[in-house]
Copies of this chain bind each other. A is one copy, B any other.
Amino acid sequence: MPRILLSNDDGYLAPGLAALAEALRPLGSIDVVAPEQDRSGASNSLTLDRPLRVRTGLNGFHYLVGGTPTDCVHLAATGILPEPPEMVVSGINRGANMGDDVLYSGTVAAAMEGRHLGMPAMAVSLVGREPEHFHSAARVAADLLRGLLENPLPGDTILNVNVPDLPYAELQGFEVTRLGRRHKSEMLMPAADPRGEPVYWIGPSGREADGGPGTDFDAVRRGCVSITPLDLDMTRYRFMDDLSQWLRCCAR
């Protein structure tokens, strides 16, 4: 039985994590290491300035006090668990991680950290503002995990999975997608504290600008499970020749 590490960015008490653990238990030996609190938006941030504490909740899940999703996967893979995990599944996130969201997502970051440390990994999100069908998404995760166990993916690649908030039977199949793109974010939201001093909220993220055919936005809109392969190597290879050209003009 493979040793499967679960994590998330909504915190160790999130219902999506419980649903995931339940669905994957038949497929492997499950360990959970997740943040104590909601760390949505944590991206790949790593805690380097202080040591972290591991605790175990009443639900049997381990959690890191003050830790990020990346911290959780990193420590789980480098010594917290008696035996190192062999795969990483992150989620089920409450809400989509599509298009530009993936840059900021702690859910995706946990999967990236797993892949970076040598393990097959995927991130699973349930689309919607207050989504309900965590068990659908957990079954999707189990389907894909079975596939990964038989046919591993190439290194440097993780799967970013977004599941429509529907009963499993109503899902319209799996679709390979590219990341769409959101509109520019909205303006900041100014406010004032009780002493009248100005403070600023980051504005909400934009609606999708590129949600056309082939994107994750489009697949989910049609009720399909969106599966986007993400590349951990961010080098833009196809631009390297042009850049050499460009440099010749610019630098003397």
Residues on A close to B: CB < 8 A? 13, 36-38, 40-54, 57-58, 65-66, 70-71, 74-75, 78-80, 100, 102-104, 109, 112, 116-118, 143-144, 146-148, 150-151, 153-154, 156-157, 159, 173-174, 176, 178-179, 181, 184-191, 193-195, 197-204, 227-237, 239-240, 243-244, 246-247, 249-251
Contact = CB atoms under 8 A, between A and B. Distances in A.
A41 B52 contact: no
In this complex, which of A112, A144, A195, A239 has the most chain B Cβ atoms within 10 angstroms of its Cβ? A239
Oligomeric state, in number of copies? Answer: 4
A51 B199 contact: yes
User: Chain B CB within 10 Å — which of A38, A178, A247 has the most?
Assistant: A247
Which of A79, A116, A194, A202 neighbours the largest number of chain B CB atoms within 10 Å of its CB?
Answer: A202
Given A80-B200, A104-B46, A234-B102, A246 B41 contact: no
Nearest to A178: B235
A43 B44 contact: yes
A186 to B, nearest CB: 7
A125 to B, nearest CB: 15
Contact of A117 (B36, B185, B246): B185
A134 B168 CA distance: 45
**Top 4 closest A-B pairs, CB basis?**
A147-B250, A231-B236, A51-B199, A43-B44
